[in-house]
Structure 1
Amino acid sequence: TAYCSWIFDSYLCWPPTRAGETALQKCPPTKGLDPTKFAERRCTEEGKWEGKLGVPSTNNQGWTNYTNCYLPEVLELLRKLGNDAEIKLNIAKRTRTLEMIGLVTSLIALVISLIIFYRFRSLRNNRTRIHKNLFIAMVIQVLIRLTLYIDQAIIRNADENAKPLYSIENTPYLCEASYILLEYARTAMFLWMFIEGLYLHNIVTVTVFQGRFPHAIYAIVGWGVPVLMTVIWAGFTAVKSNQKCWYNYNLTDYYRILEGPRLVVILLNFVFLFNIIRVLVVKLRQSHTSDVEQVRKAVRAAIVLLPLLGITNLLNMSKAPLDRSPFEFAVWSYVTHFLTTFQGFFIAMIYCFLNGEVRTAILKSISVWMSLRGHHDWAHRRRSFFSVNFPTNAETEQPQQQPPQNGVDLKRQRTSQLQPSRQRSTWINLLFLTKPKNQKQREQPPESVIFDISD
């Protein structure tokens, strides 16, 4: 009786099999495969391993049928990729390089922004409190994602014949814990974006904004609610998934426990954005601005708020066009991951580095430092071309006014008070005032929000 000789197919070692029979073995515990199912190899009547699609193997290596081993979501993924699977996988590999660049850039920008916000006392206000919490959530997410990407790259580039490396991906519990923390940080980021939108919306649309800043409530919503959501999702995943390191957990149905609330946050922020733009247009009409200028200013304001409110994540949360042409898939992949990974950089750039008040605080500090070293003629003369200005007196201090030193200064001060301030026509100025307690509505409130966007 003829037999097919034993063979190793890189995953399983197959014993000698009688001609005309099919050998079965449990699927290997590899990503995307179900270890409770069986892979098969068929030995032909001639005593040779059967090739793919029933064709006899020319080199007697044969073909192992792992089709039954694939998870349903992986089979659906392969079906959508079709004949262009290899091309699309290469696109995905190049996208990973773009992600690494974006994550590193965002991490550097966010860390520098946090240092600036914590370093300067003049920047400590309610709005920057929210900014700092959002930046911290984004930093945690970026750090974990970078760590996982680097770990995966080391494992994939390791020599197959070398001793297996210890890594996050092949360490039980550590890998799952990393993804749990990643999803927690991502959920916290979305909820702090919701708080950003809610706070801005209340200042813009509510004419009377009374009461103290609800920092404790915001902290519970921003950091506490994600704990509950993540614990529920992790419990379902641990029970339902039999995969090592929860491979492809984002393709499962119970991942909607996290993605559903995130999508609701984006939709609510979209409503906030629409209402803010509506108020802006009303104020522009009251100032007798031309229709073209109104549209242009409204579009600029929307572009500024898109990354802060997380609306750019909507494209990433949509289904990938895997069944489309490689060109369409490449466009979607590059654009989506560019917006997602560079999001931290854009937010830090708009709301910190290009912020007029941040620049003023930094230049003032540099001016003092230079003056102490004998450079008394050094002074900053230029403000930022883009700024989001807020009065940021320290929460425990009152604004101080320097008395005029002589009659000339007093005359200049009186003249500046009598003359209205001149503004360049190339700037968008959106002023949202909040009414303090026990004051008339006509009086200038102590807190205002001004968005200045240059041409």
Structure 2
Amino acid sequence: MAWLEQARIDCFQEILREPWPDPNVTVCPRTWDLVMCWPDTKPGEVATQPCPSYVNGFQPWENATRRCMPDGSWYFAAELNRTWTNMSLCLSDLFEENGSEFVKSHMARIVFMYSLGYGISLASLGLSLFIMLYFKRLHCPRNYIHLNLFVSFILRASISFMKQKLLVAGLGFPSDVEPDEFDENKFIFKNGSTHWQCKLFFTCFNYILGANYMWILAEGIYLQLLISRAVFSEKSSVKWYMLFGWRKFRLASTYH
């Protein structure tokens, strides 16, 4: 931060020290963009400077650019609500190399934690489902809602395992994809096929994922009504929760 602050001070000193252009001449004014100092630039030109070496992680052999628009204003990025400097090249090597190596070095642990979490969840939910179905004393309308929530979580965990084990790079089945001829680490879909198995799988995957979220919402609504006051009788309202949990998302998906 000390180097950046010093660069800011030097920039403002340079802005004040350099002679100002003719007022009748349109230029993009010299400015400090919070990282770099930019001189006056003619309209329609792209100012180019080496990436600053005082920013940790920047590649000083690459260039940053800033576009001066024809009306004499710096390019304004509406999504950022400010003028924009293109520093993508300053970080490209850092993201592509260091980021890729970081992910690769931890991928085995990430997959293990992912599988362990879903495995524990699946075993616990299966045991809970068995207990609630086996003991008849637990058969009541409120537990039917809990059971459906458990089933939705079991389906979600199961299809997530299937997605991890059956799909290639999370894209499609082995019959649907092939390695990219320009990059063996990437996969593309094969031409001349409808890929109906892949489409069917992802339709089921998205439905189960959506139904799981809907059942979480249904459980929350039920508990809220249970705590506050009963709007409907318990027996008559369960069927509406069933409809809401398993069909609401399907109807929304069909509409879209």
Question: If the length of structure 1 is used for normalisation, what is the TM-score?
Answer: 0.29
Question: If the length of structure 2 is used for normalisation, what is the TM-score?
Answer: 0.50
- Identify the structure with bigger relative contact order (alpha carbons < 8 Å, sequence gap 6+): 1
